[in-house]
Amino acid sequence: MNLDLNNNDFILGVLTRLQMANEKTFDRRKGVVAGSFRREFLEVVRDDGTRERALGYVANGPDEGAPRPGYLQRILAGARHHDLPAAAITEVESLNQQWA
Protein backbone atom coordinates (compact mmCIF):
# COMPACT_ATOMS: atom_id res chain seq x y z
CA MET A 1 0.00 0.00 0.00
CA ASN A 2 1.16 3.53 -0.70
CA LEU A 3 0.26 6.40 1.60
CA ASP A 4 -0.32 9.67 -0.27
CA LEU A 5 1.14 12.55 1.75
CA ASN A 6 -0.37 15.32 -0.42
CA ASN A 7 3.04 16.28 -1.77
CA ASN A 8 3.48 13.36 -4.17
CA ASP A 9 5.62 11.46 -1.66
CA PHE A 10 4.48 8.10 -0.44
CA ILE A 11 5.15 5.53 2.25
CA LEU A 12 5.07 1.81 1.66
CA GLY A 13 3.34 -0.07 4.42
CA VAL A 14 0.86 -2.65 5.58
CA LEU A 15 -2.69 -1.98 6.73
CA THR A 16 -3.73 -3.48 10.06
CA ARG A 17 -7.19 -3.56 11.60
CA LEU A 18 -7.45 -1.88 14.99
CA GLN A 19 -10.25 -2.79 17.37
CA MET A 20 -12.13 0.28 18.64
CA ALA A 21 -11.64 -0.95 22.22
CA ASN A 22 -7.86 -0.64 21.76
CA GLU A 23 -7.77 2.87 20.27
CA LYS A 24 -6.95 4.71 23.52
CA THR A 25 -4.14 2.30 24.34
CA PHE A 26 -2.76 2.59 20.81
CA ASP A 27 -2.99 6.40 20.95
CA ARG A 28 -1.01 6.40 24.20
CA ARG A 29 1.65 4.04 22.84
CA LYS A 30 1.97 6.08 19.63
CA GLY A 31 2.51 9.32 21.53
CA VAL A 32 -0.81 11.05 20.83
CA VAL A 33 -1.44 11.70 24.51
CA ALA A 34 2.05 13.23 24.89
CA GLY A 35 1.55 15.40 21.79
CA SER A 36 4.36 13.82 19.75
CA PHE A 37 2.00 12.36 17.16
CA ARG A 38 -1.51 13.06 15.93
CA ARG A 39 -4.16 10.79 14.48
CA GLU A 40 -5.02 11.53 10.89
CA PHE A 41 -7.22 9.78 8.36
CA LEU A 42 -5.26 9.44 5.14
CA GLU A 43 -6.03 8.06 1.72
CA VAL A 44 -4.18 4.83 0.96
CA VAL A 45 -3.79 3.10 -2.36
CA ARG A 46 -3.71 -0.67 -2.22
CA ASP A 47 -1.51 -2.76 -4.51
CA ASP A 48 -4.55 -3.42 -6.71
CA GLY A 49 -5.13 0.33 -7.16
CA THR A 50 -8.20 0.60 -4.94
CA ARG A 51 -8.29 3.54 -2.53
CA GLU A 52 -9.59 3.83 0.99
CA ARG A 53 -9.20 5.94 4.10
CA ALA A 54 -7.09 4.61 6.93
CA LEU A 55 -6.06 5.96 10.31
CA GLY A 56 -2.41 6.95 10.47
CA TYR A 57 -0.20 8.38 13.17
CA VAL A 58 1.73 11.42 11.93
CA ALA A 59 4.61 13.08 13.81
CA ASN A 60 3.89 16.66 14.89
CA GLY A 61 7.48 17.68 14.22
CA PRO A 62 10.72 16.42 12.70
CA ASP A 63 12.54 16.00 16.01
CA GLU A 64 10.27 13.76 18.06
CA GLY A 65 13.19 11.78 19.47
CA ALA A 66 14.48 8.27 19.13
CA PRO A 67 12.07 5.38 18.68
CA ARG A 68 11.58 3.03 21.60
CA PRO A 69 14.05 0.15 21.84
CA GLY A 70 12.99 -2.69 19.54
CA TYR A 71 10.49 -0.60 17.54
CA LEU A 72 12.50 -0.37 14.31
CA GLN A 73 13.44 -4.05 14.57
CA ARG A 74 9.71 -4.92 14.63
CA ILE A 75 9.08 -2.61 11.66
CA LEU A 76 11.95 -4.24 9.78
CA ALA A 77 10.68 -7.75 10.56
CA GLY A 78 7.20 -6.74 9.34
CA ALA A 79 8.59 -5.23 6.13
CA ARG A 80 10.44 -8.46 5.40
CA HIS A 81 7.48 -10.64 6.36
CA HIS A 82 5.18 -8.74 4.00
CA ASP A 83 7.75 -8.71 1.18
CA LEU A 84 8.00 -4.93 0.88
CA PRO A 85 10.39 -3.80 -1.87
CA ALA A 86 14.12 -3.97 -1.17
CA ALA A 87 14.42 -0.15 -1.20
CA ALA A 88 11.88 0.13 1.63
CA ILE A 89 13.69 -2.51 3.68
CA THR A 90 17.04 -0.77 3.08
CA GLU A 91 15.54 2.51 4.29
CA VAL A 92 14.31 0.94 7.53
CA GLU A 93 17.69 -0.76 7.99
CA SER A 94 19.44 2.62 7.65
CA LEU A 95 17.09 4.15 10.24
CA ASN A 96 17.77 1.20 12.51
CA GLN A 97 21.54 1.81 12.22
CA GLN A 98 21.06 5.56 12.73
CA TRP A 99 19.24 5.04 16.04
CA ALA A 100 21.42 2.13 17.24
What is the per-residue pLDDT across 16-68, written as a single tens digit (0 to 9) for each? 888 888 888 888 888 888 888 888 998 888 889 999 999 888 888 766 667 77
| H-helix segments, 1-100 | 23-30, 71-81, 86-98
- Nearest to residue 37, comparing CAs of 3, 65, 15? 65
Identify the pLDDT of residue 23.
84
Q: Sheet of 2-4: strands edge to edge?
A: 10-12, 2-4, 37-45, 51-59
Is residue 9 predicted with pLDDT exceeding 70?
Answer: no
- Nearest to residue 52, comparing CAs of 97, 91, 15? 15
Q: Read off the pTM.
A: 0.68
Q: How far apart are CA 54 and CA 12, in angstroms?
A: 14
